[in-house]
């Protein structure tokens, strides 16, 4: 699984002009599911997201995790993260999980996150979403499990 995480001061997902998910300070995470990923991959990714130290401590160093600051977690499915862009002028998606597997694993990640952290919000798999954010820093990291 791939996660593009962004430290945000706020983030929101809209569908058809209606806000369906929003957080304040925390992480906006775009999630891509690859062929071969499984529930353990989703659980390991969540462990990393909650424990990854990207928030400033009292000395201004990135030394605190999302769990430590009790920040929001906004998970958004984005299959284009797994695109193969190494050649040509059109991305290939042969590495992407099928729609059923991708949705099942994203939903599992969202459910596990909701059980172990608050606040948690999520986008909707397969929906045409508009995502807005204020990237704090900017701070953006790519995680892959």
Contact residues for 50 (Cβ-Cβ < 8 A; gap 6+): 65, 66, 67, 73, 113, 116, 117
Q: Distance (Å, rounded) from C-alpha 3 to C-alpha 76?
A: 10
Q: How far is CA 121 from the centre of its chain?
A: 10
Could you confirm whether 80 is annotated as catalytic? yes
89 catalytic per annotation: no
How does DSSP classify residue 96?
B
Q: Which of 6, 55, 78, 125 is catalytic?
A: 78
Is 56 in a helix, a strand, or coil? strand
Q: How many C-beta neighbours within 10 Å does residue 111 have?
A: 13
Select which of 55, 79, 106, 125 is catalytic.
Answer: 79
Is residue 25 flagged as an active site residue?
no
| Catalytic position from the list 80, 85, 93, 130 | 80
> Within a 10 A sphere around the Cβ of 105, how many other Cβ atoms?
23
Cβ neighbour number for residue 85 with a 10 Å cutoff: 10
| Residues labelled catalytic | 78-80
């Amino acid at each position: 699984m791939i996660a593009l995480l962004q430290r945000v001061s706020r983030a929101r997902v809209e569908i058809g002009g209606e806000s369906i998910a929003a957080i304040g300070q925390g992480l906006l995470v775009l999630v891509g599911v690859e062929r071969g990923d499984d529930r353990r991959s989703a659980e390991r990714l969540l462990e990393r997201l909650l424990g990854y130290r990207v928030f400033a401590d009292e000395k201004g160093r990135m030394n605190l995790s999302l769990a430590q600051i009790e920040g929001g977690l906004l998970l958004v499915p984005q299959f284009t993260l797994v695109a193969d862009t190494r050649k040509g002028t059109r991305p290939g998606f042969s590495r992407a999980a099928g729609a059923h597997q991708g949705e099942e694993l994203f939903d599992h990640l969202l459910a596990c996150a909701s059980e172990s952290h608050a606040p948690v919000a999520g986008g909707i798999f397969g929906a045409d979403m508009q995502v807005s954010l204020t990237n704090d820093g900017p701070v953006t990291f790519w995680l892959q499990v």
